[in-house]
């Protein structure tokens, strides 16, 4: 019998479908079923966003149209995680050509923001909040680029659901209400932010209706005039006024000149699956490097609930992230050793540093050979097999904590990831993009394509690697792979690691014996991030969707007329 992990994964999918016709049900190993359809599916972190995207599909839009519509709604219903003030990355699979396209729409530093300027202001480290932490937001330019290259519907139609929801209001959902409450004190520091997002002096509670007519106005400007409204028109004027008010260095040309970048996704082979990420300055390369390290060990033989498997995953994370922090930067300004970092030979060399009996507390970066808190993730697949893996973020909850009066959206704090060390590859420089945490994922094998992503700052690359292992090594289906318990290590040194309480107690005891300093967290914890995934089986013409219970979201199929 074929026991290859990828065979078990395919067999698991087929079994799940076939069991629907039997007179009994299989033992449940997951909280909810996959969504399965011959039509399109949109999976996001909020049912209203997924619904908006699915309706676009029903009206003849494609996966890109659906993703833009869903993303716009997410900026309304979860304003602390995403919106017009954030950045955007995407991987697009074009069914008719079989090509993958990558989009980096992360913002650059304004031209007047330099290391010398900040040191003159008394800063010794990069500010994490306030105007100096804000790079030029890239989300709207990203929508414009996606729609122009792939879209079938005008922005006016795609943004219509978000405009209506912002105008009429929506009930705040459970997890979003918790995020909002956690930012209450922080948001009260900026009068414009407090007026916008703390009505009656407090965060709205679960089930309360929240309206954002300022955001509806801003969305209408973009619906009518596209990127020009944001980077040159009425919204630009408000953003520049906000910068001046807070002592920022933004100029009109910083906004007007900004353009996203079409990039070639980078990849590695994990067993017989090809896994893709956006290239630097994103952290996706760490997910691929981590997979290369994991591939050196017999995880499938050990099993998911073995101490050896969990120990290896945690140690591989430390090695991959040490190189991430040392080398990843904007490749227009620094030489990033991408080929070397993804070399299988380099992975074998680094994997030998993993002590099977002891957790490492200090992991230095290697020397790759030279070679040629808050985020929202969503994905979509249409009936033709076009697919989008899209992630958009303000970084910290409500980003910089600043709102330009009249706009209705918070500004990200992505600039906080720059270094003020002049010799570091990720050193701050005008019109440079910082090291970025948000990453969309994609993977392929034979006739199967999967778009996936898991949000959560520095959690993302390590969560991607765990998700891929769940599918490839442990034969899980799409939903189980998202739901399965995860670990996260949000620091770069020490033996500390957070691990969900659903990980068997015997595993946790074994990890502690190896020196891991475990913090046991909730069974479906926010720190390990929430994700979404869609899959296309081209051989059968069937789409699958999955949504992580760690979020309020859902995978919603295209309505059938």
SS (H, E, C) 395-423: ECCCCCCCECCCCCCECCCHHHHCECCCC
Q: How many CB atoms lie within 10 A of CB 353?
A: 15
- Coil, helix or strand at residue 546: strand
pTM for the whole structure? 0.93
Above 50 in pLDDT, residue 6?
no
Comparing CA positions, the residue from 4, 19, 16, 1 lying closest to residue 445 is 4
Above 90 in pLDDT, residue 88?
yes
- pLDDT at position 19: 36
Long-range contacts of 3-8 (CB under 8 A, 24+ apart): 4/272, 5/271, 5/300, 5/472, 5/473, 5/474, 5/475, 6/271, 6/272, 6/273, 6/445, 6/472, 8/475
- Coil, helix or strand at residue 451: strand
What is the arithmetic mean of pLDDT over 123-144? 96
Comparing CA positions, the residue from 532, 519, 413, 556 lying closest to residue 81 is 413
- pLDDT at position 28: 77
Predicted confidence band of residue 547 (pLDDT cuts 50, 70, 90): very high
For residues 473 and 300, what is the distance between their CA atoms, to the nearest angstrom? 5
For residue 403, give both structure tokens: 């709102």
Q: What is the dihedral of CA 197, 226, 531, 7, to 10 degrees?
A: 170
In the chain, the domains with their CATH numbers are: 5-21+263-372+458-542 (1.10.246.130), 41-261+375-417 (no CATH)
Q: Among positive and negative, which fits the CA dihedral 473, 374, 143, 554?
A: positive
Helix (H) or strand (E) holding 6: helix 5-18
Q: Is 253 a catalytic residue?
A: no
Predicted confidence band of residue 370 (pLDDT cuts 50, 70, 90): low
Q: Which residues of 277-288 are buried (b: 16+ CB within 10 A; e: fewer)?
A: bbbbbbbbbbbb
Q: How many CB atoms lie within 10 A of CB 247?
A: 10
Task: List pLDDT tens digits, range 412-466.
Answer: 999 999 999 999 999 999 999 999 999 999 999 999 999 999 998 899 999 999 9
What count of Cα atoms within 13 Å lies in the side-chain half-sphere of residue 451? 35
What is the arithmetic mean of pLDDT over 475-493? 96
Above 80 in pLDDT, residue 164?
yes
Above 70 in pLDDT, residue 15?
no
For residues 407 and 403, what is the distance between their CA atoms, to the nearest angstrom? 7
What is the arithmetic mean of pLDDT over 349-356? 97
Above 90 in pLDDT, residue 252?
yes
Above 70 in pLDDT, residue 372?
no
DSSP letters of 48-59?
A: HHHHHHHHHHHT
Above 70 in pLDDT, residue 5?
no
Q: How many CB atoms lie within 10 A of CB 22?
A: 8
Q: Which of 10, 375, 407, 437 is catalytic?
A: 375
- Residue 289 CA, chain-centre distance (Å), reads 18
Above 60 in pLDDT, residue 12?
no
What is the arithmetic mean of pLDDT over 244-260? 97
Q: How many residues does the chain have?
A: 561
Helix, strand, coil percentages (3-state) for the chain, rounded to 5, are: 40, 20, 45
- pLDDT at position 324: 96
- pLDDT at position 272: 95
For residues 70 and 168, what is the distance between their CA atoms, to the nearest angstrom? 17
Above 50 in pLDDT, residue 253?
yes
**Helical H segments across 109-267, by residue range:** 115-120, 139-150, 155-158, 160-168, 174-182, 184-187, 191-197, 213-225, 227-231, 234-245, 252-256
Q: 25 or 277, which is more confident?
A: 277
Task: List pLDDT tens digits, range 293-312.
Answer: 999 999 999 999 999 999 99
Above 50 in pLDDT, residue 23?
no
What is the arithmetic mean of pLDDT over 394-414? 93
Above 50 in pLDDT, residue 555?
yes
- pLDDT at position 165: 98
- Coil, helix or strand at residue 187: helix
What is the arithmetic mean of pLDDT over 271-299? 97
What is the arithmetic mean of pLDDT over 132-142? 97
Give strand pairing partners of 496: 517
Above 70 in pLDDT, residue 125?
yes
**Residues near 415 by Cβ (< 8 Å), separated by ≥ 6?**
109, 113, 126, 127, 132, 133, 134, 135, 428, 434
Evaluate whether 375 touches 438 at the Cβ level (below 8 Å): yes
For residues 309 and 294, what is the distance between their CA atoms, to the nearest angstrom? 9
Above 50 in pLDDT, residue 349?
yes
Predicted confidence band of residue 375 (pLDDT cuts 50, 70, 90): confident
Above 80 in pLDDT, residue 20?
no
- pLDDT at position 30: 87
What is the arithmetic mean of pLDDT over 326-342? 95
* Average pLDDT along the chain: 93
Phi-psi region for residue 121, left (φ > 0), alpha (ψ -120 to 50) or beta?
Answer: alpha
What is the arithmetic mean of pLDDT over 529-546? 97
Least confident of 263-267, 517-521, 557-561: 557-561
- pLDDT at position 331: 94
């Amino acid at each position: 019998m074929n026991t290859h992990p990828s065979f078990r994964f395919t067999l698991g999918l087929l079994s799940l479908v076939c069991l629907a016709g039997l007179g009994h049900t299989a033992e449940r190993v997951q909280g909810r079923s996959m969504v399965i359809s011959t039509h399109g599916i949109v999976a996001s972190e909020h049912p209203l966003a997924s619904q908006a995207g699915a309706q676009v599909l029903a009206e003849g839009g494609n996966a890109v149209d659906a993703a833009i519509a869903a993303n716009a709604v997410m900026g309304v219903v979860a304003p602390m995680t995403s919106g017009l003030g954030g950045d955007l990355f995407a991987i697009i699979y074009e069914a008719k050509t079989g090509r993958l396209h990558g989009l980096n729409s992360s913002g650059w530093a304004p031209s007047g923001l330099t290391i010398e300027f900040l040191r003159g202001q008394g800063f010794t480290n990069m500010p994490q909040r306030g105007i100096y932490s804000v790079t030029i937001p890239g989300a709207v330019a990203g929508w414009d680029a996606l729609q122009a290259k792939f879209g079938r519907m005008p922005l006016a139609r795609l943004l219509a659901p978000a405009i209506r929801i912002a105008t009429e209001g929506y009930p705040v959902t459970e997890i979003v209400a918790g995020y909002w409450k956690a930012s209450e004190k922080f948001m009260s520091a900026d009068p414009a932010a407090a007026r916008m997002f703390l009505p009656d002096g407090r965060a709205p509670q679960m089930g309360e209706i929240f309206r954002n007519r300022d955001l509806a106005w801003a969305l209408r400007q973009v619906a009518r005039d596209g990127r020009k409204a944001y980077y040159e028109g009425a919204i630009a004027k408000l953003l520049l006024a906000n910068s001046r008010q807070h002592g920022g260095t933004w100029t009109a040309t910083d906004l007007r000149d900004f353009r996203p970048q079409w990039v070639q996704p980078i990849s590695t082979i994990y067993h017989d699956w090809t896994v893709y990420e956006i290239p630097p300055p994103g952290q996706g390369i760490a997910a691929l490097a981590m997979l290369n390290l994991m591939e050196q060990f017999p995880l499938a033989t050990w099993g998911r609930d073995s101490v050896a498997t969990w120990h290896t995953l945690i140690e591989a994370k430390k090695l991959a992230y040490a190189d991430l922090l040392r080398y990843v930067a904007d490749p227009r300004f620094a030489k990033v050793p991408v080929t070397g970092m993804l070399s299988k030979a380099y992975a074998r060399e680094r994997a030998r540093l993993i002590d099977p009996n002891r957790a490492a507390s200090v992991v230095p970066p290697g020397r790759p050979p030279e070679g040629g808190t808050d985020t929202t993730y969503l994905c979509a697949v249409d009936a033709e097999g076009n697919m989008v893996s899209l992630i958009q973020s303000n970084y910290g909850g409500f980003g910089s904590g600043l709102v330009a009066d009249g706009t209705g959206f918070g500004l990200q704090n992505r600039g906080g990831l720059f270094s003020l060390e002049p010799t570091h590859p990720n050193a701050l420089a005008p019109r440079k993009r910082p090291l970025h945490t948000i990453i969309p994922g994609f993977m392929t094998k034979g006739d199967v394509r999967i778009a996936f992503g898991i949000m959560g700052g520095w959690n993302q690359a390590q969560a991607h690697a765990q998700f891929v292992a769940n599918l490839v090594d442990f034969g899980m289906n799409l939903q189980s792979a998202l739901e399965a318990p995860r670990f996260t290590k949000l620091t770069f040194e020490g033996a500390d690691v957070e691990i969900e309480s659903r990980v068997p107690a015997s595993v946790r005891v074994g990890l502690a014996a190896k020196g891991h300093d475990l913090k046991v967290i909730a069974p479906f914890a926010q720190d390990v991030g929430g994700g979404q995934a869609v899959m296309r089986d081209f051989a059968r013409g069937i789409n699958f969707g999955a949504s992580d219970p760690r979020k309020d979201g859902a995978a919603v199929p295209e309505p059938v007329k």
